[in-house]
Amino acid sequence: MSGEDASGTHPRPAMTPADHAELALTLEVASTPKPGNVDRRRDHDDLRFEHFLAGAVGSRPGLKLAEGDAPIGDAFERAVHGMSQQGGGNTQFGCLLLLVPLVRGAATDRLSPDGLRDVTAATTVDDAAAFYRAFESVDVAVSDPPADASALDVRRGADAVPALRDRGLTLADVMGLSADRDGNAAEWTSGFERTFDAADRVLDDDGPVTDRLARLFVDLLADRPDTLVAVEHGAERAEEVRREAAAIDGLDDAEELAERFLDAGINPGTTADLVAATAFVALERGVPV
Amino acid sequence: MSGEDASGTHPRPAMTPADHAELALTLEVASTPKPGNVDRRRDHDDLRFEHFLAGAVGSRPGLKLAEGDAPIGDAFERAVHGMSQQGGGNTQFGCLLLLVPLVRGAATDRLSPDGLRDVTAATTVDDAAAFYRAFESVDVAVSDPPADASALDVRRGADAVPALRDRGLTLADVMGLSADRDGNAAEWTSGFERTFDAADRVLDDDGPVTDRLARLFVDLLADRPDTLVAVEHGAERAEEVRREAAAIDGLDDAEELAERFLDAGINPGTTADLVAATAFVALERGVPV
């Protein structure tokens, strides 16, 4: 996605990391079928495709902060606020939680597992406070915290900030507290290894990028239980969903599963977040669109 | 689309005109059915939905120039070049030709027919030269120029610039040369009256914005022959297409027409350009997403 200006009057750079992140958000929702999620062919009742488009454009100022040298937490808080300025509610909170550090990694030549470990390790208590404040923009479905950590329940929003400061927890520390039950937090604590592995698979696949991402979605869903499904329907149902995804063969089969999950209110949102993160890495590495 | 930051640490502005223009480009292609066009439910063989998403993100640097004080022609040339950096070819040349002056109008408090007349009247010969250079980024379907104006054929790209300078033609003058046979040029020479009228209709309509835009598409297509269809299939076929659009009743009927036009290679692209321009004005005026 770069080129020379025939007239020589304007430099014409390739897309920047913030551009790729915004495009990744739209490619994620355009990829179909992604069983249980809003996609190009399916809306939920009050959460429609266009809400995701507006969320992607709205998140851009935060993504630009991530591309610069603003604190990661501020970039995330700004991205979430901008994302939330549409009528569908929470469209891309989890996607942005993954994309903000990935954009920072790409902008600083550290788009690798080791590089992302550096990015997350550098987060601060202020970043954690901004992350908590971001929950005040939208309703996010999360699991209950451990009994000894209720002061740190993200649903407390800014009210939890004094407890964060008392304990000196950075954003990476906060992610570590829920990595065992939240797929996005697990990416934060593992150098985004699942995302990078998935990006390699997308680059090795062929056909339109949205078909590659749809195939990836089913593969990821078959690989591990979706943690949003576990929050909303319990661990047992999340494991059943994983098995249903593992049993299907090809995108045609996935169409049928998409109808079934939609009817049952099964929304594997964490897997969709991973698809957006993967799309970003794949775009940075040159997957054609 | 604005709000106050609960924490008070970040100003959180509404979307800017460039944001709304980018969102308008994605809402246009997301609106379905738009008979004959790529939309959320239909691709063409080599021109797919995701090419439009990448075109929208890619056009952003040019839209930002339009929001600032760069010459209109430079903003357009930059937007078209960025739009063209995807595998589908020309996705949104005509949309951008309408959006660039509309963004300038919105950014300078002149988003009205009189304001747009001011914007276009202020264009220069340099703007016209940049417009011609933009044709070097993509293949655009256009009609033949009048016999006495072959030196000004846009397909000559930068080679036509000496003739432009000899004749002292501004970009508004160039638009005036084809306003009788090009729907986008007609907007330029009329203060975008059709666009503003259409935006009023969208604001008065109800339901999801993408449904409003799909209804508008059919109404506009029924109202006047699409000038891209006229270029590609002749004036008689364009009038038939207009009559077919006028005969349908509601979006369900439009689905059937969409299949028929797709099979016949009928692509009412100028009408789609008007829908994108209308979406922009409607977003600036507060249509909910």
The predicted-structure confidence for B27-75, as pLDDT tens digits, reads as follows 999 999 999 999 999 999 899 999 999 999 999 999 999 999 999 999 9
| Tokens standing for residue A268 | 């594997």
Reading the block at residue B152, the tokens are: 């000004």
pTM: 0.95
Q: A121: exposed, middle or buried (C-beta count within 10 Å: 0-12, 13-18, 19+)?
A: exposed
Report chain A's terminal Cα–Cα distance, integer Å: 9
* Cα dihedral B123, B126, B132, B133 in deg (nearest 10): -130
Percent of chain B with pLDDT over 90: 88
Closest chain A residue by Cα to residue B39: A40
Within 10 A of A288 (CB to CB), how many other CB atoms are there? 13
Mean pLDDT for B229-234 is 96
In whole angstroms, what is the distance from residue B60 CA to residue B80 CA? 10
Q: Is the pLDDT of residue B4 over 80?
A: no
Residue in A6, A50, A87 nearest the CB of B133? A6
Burial of B68 (0-12, 13-18, 19+ CB in 10 A): exposed
Residues of B in contact with A10 (CB under 8 A): 74, 77-78, 81
State the average pLDDT over residues B151-170: 94
Name the residue among A22, A210, A288 with its Cβ closest to that of B57. A22
Select from B9, B15, B209 the Cβ nearest to the Cβ of A58. B15
Q: Considering only CB atoms, which chain B residues are within 8 Å of A1? A: 54, 58, 85-86
Task: Please state, in angstroms and rounded to a whole number, the distance separating the CA atoms of residues A164 and A125.
Answer: 7
- Is the Cβ pair A1, B54 closer than 8 Å? yes
Q: Angle between the B17-30 and B60-67 helix axes, to the nearest 10 degrees?
A: 140
Supply the DSSP string of A263-278, one letter for each residue: HHT---HHHHHHHHHH
Cβ pair A49:B40 closer than 8 A: yes
**Exposure string over A85-119, b if 16+ CB within 10 A, otherwise e:** bbebebbbbbbbbbbbbbbbbbbeebbebebbbbb
pLDDT > 90 fraction of chain A, expressed in percent and rounded: 88
Query: Rounded distance, CA B256 to CA B252, Å?
Result: 7
The DSSP line for chain B is -----TTSSS--PPPPHHHHHHHHHHHHHHSS--TTS-BTTB--SS--HHHHHHHHHHTHHHHHHHHTTS-HHHHHHHHHHHHTSSTTS-SSHHHHHHHHHHHHHHHTT--SHHHHHHHHHT--HHHHHHHHHHTTTS----PPPPGGGGGG-GGGGGGGHHHHHHHT--HHHHHHHHTTT-HHHHHHHTTTHHHHHHHHHHHHS-S-HHHHHHHHHHHHHHHS--HHHHHHH-HHHHHHHHHHHHH--SHHHHHHHHHHHHHHT---HHHHHHHHHHHHHHHHTT---
**Rounded mean pLDDT, A218-240:** 97
pLDDT band for B147, please (50, 70, 90 cuts).
confident
- Residue A1 is predicted with a pLDDT of 43
Does the pLDDT value for residue A146 go beyond 90?
no
pLDDT exceeds cutoff 80 at A6: no
- Residues of chain A with Cβ-Cβ distance to B137 below 8 Å are 6
Q: What is the pLDDT of residue A143?
A: 85
Q: Within a 13 Å sphere around the CA of B92, how many CA atoms are in the beta-carbon half? A: 43
* pLDDT band of A250, cuts 50, 70, 90: confident
Cβ atoms of B115 and B103 closer than 8 Å: no
CB contact under 8 A, B19 and A77: no
* Cβ contacts of B14 on chain A, cutoff 8 Å: 85
Partner-chain residue, chosen from A10, A22, A53, that has the shortest CB–CB distance to B30: A53
Percent of chain A exceeding pLDDT 70 equals: 96
Mean local confidence (pLDDT), A48-61: 98
Residues of chain B with Cβ-Cβ distance to A209 below 8 Å are 50
pLDDT-derived band at A12 (thresholds 50, 70, 90) equals: low
pLDDT tens for A152-188 read 999 999 999 999 999 999 999 999 999 999 999 999 9
Which residue type is seen at A216?
A: L
B-chain residues near A137 (CB < 8 A): 6
Q: DSSP letters of A193-214? A: HHHHHHHHHHHHS-S-HHHHHH
Contact B54 A289 (CB under 8 A): yes
| Residue that is written with structure tokens 């009927």 in the block | B253
All structural domains of chain B, each given as residue ranges with its CATH number in brackets, are 17-284 (1.10.4200.10)
Q: What is the mean pLDDT of residues A229-244?
A: 97
Closest Cα partner for A127 from A82, A73, A75? A73
Range with the poorest average pLDDT among A24-33, A138-147, B111-120, B276-285 = A138-147
pLDDT at B13: 61
Looking at beta carbons, which pairs linking B243-246 to residues 24 or more positions away fall under 8 Å? B245/B35, B245/B218, B245/B221, B246/B222
Closest Cβ opposite residue A49 in set B1, B30, B86: B30
CA–CA distance, B218 with B216 (Å, rounded to integer): 5
Mean pLDDT in chain B? 94
pLDDT tens for residues A98-121?
Answer: 999 999 999 999 999 999 999 999
- How many interchain CB pairs under 8 A, A with B? 122
Chain B positions touching A9 (Cβ under 8 A) are 74, 133
Least confident of A23-37, B10-24, B245-259: B10-24
Please report the pLDDT score of residue A7 as a whole number. Answer: 44
Give dist(CA B227, CA A29) in Å, integer.
Answer: 32
pLDDT over 50 at B259, yes or no: yes
pLDDT digits (tens, 9 = 90+) for B218-227: 999 999 999 9
To probe the interface with B, which of A15, A22, A27, A50 has the most B CB atoms within 10 Å? A50
Does the beta-carbon distance from B50 to A210 stay under 8 Å?
yes
pLDDT at B188: 98
Q: Which of B6, B85, B157 sits opposite A3 (nearest CB)?
A: B85
Burial class (CB in 10 A: 0-12, 13-18, 19+), A53: buried
CA distance B178 to chain A (A): 25
Spacing of C-alpha B38 from chain mean position: 14
Q: What's the confidence (pLDDT) of residue B7?
A: 44
